[in-house]
Amino acid sequence: MSIQSCKHPLGAAGHGRMTMRQNQAETRRQNVAKRSMTKEVKQLTGLIATLRESLDGIRKQRANAKLSGAEMGALDERRNNLLLTIAALDDRLSAVQGLIDLGRPHIIRVH
């Protein structure tokens, strides 16, 4: 049998099955990424809520009139650090939710 008598162009045999496998693999990757990102959203939401509770605790401590200037300063520094951390986590949460809403989930790596 020569190549000329073959009805399929060279390399075309089985092409449909390969495309199907690639599509299934891509769908599987997207499903895994979406589950991962959904899990991250839940973790971020919980962490942000916990940090906001800590922030409320600092506000209550700061209301105490018997604090020295150094203690007030330390509480202010903790409050500022918490606010920066919450803002960064809110940004991350917004980015992850945006990717999920766009239907473009992928694994986001943090270094």
Is 7 domain-assigned?
no
Is 9 domain-assigned?
no
> Which residue is associated with the tokens 């990717």?
99
Does the predicted TM-score (pTM) go above 0.75? Answer: no
Number of domains making up the chain: 1
Res 85 pLDDT > 60: yes
* Spatial distance between the Cα atoms of 14 and 56, rounded to a whole number of angstroms: 63
Is 29 domain-assigned?
no
Q: What is the mean pLDDT of residues 105-111?
A: 59
Is 16 domain-assigned?
no
Catalogue the long-range contacts made by 57-61 (C-beta closer than 8 Å, 24 or more residues apart).
58/82
* Spatial distance between the Cα atoms of 7 and 4, rounded to a whole number of angstroms: 8
Is 13 domain-assigned?
no
Domain range for 82 is 36-110
Is 82 domain-assigned?
yes
Q: Considering the chain, what is the average pLDDT of its residues?
A: 83
Is 56 domain-assigned?
yes
Q: What is the mean pLDDT of residues 16-29?
A: 76
Q: What is the mean pLDDT of residues 26-50?
A: 90
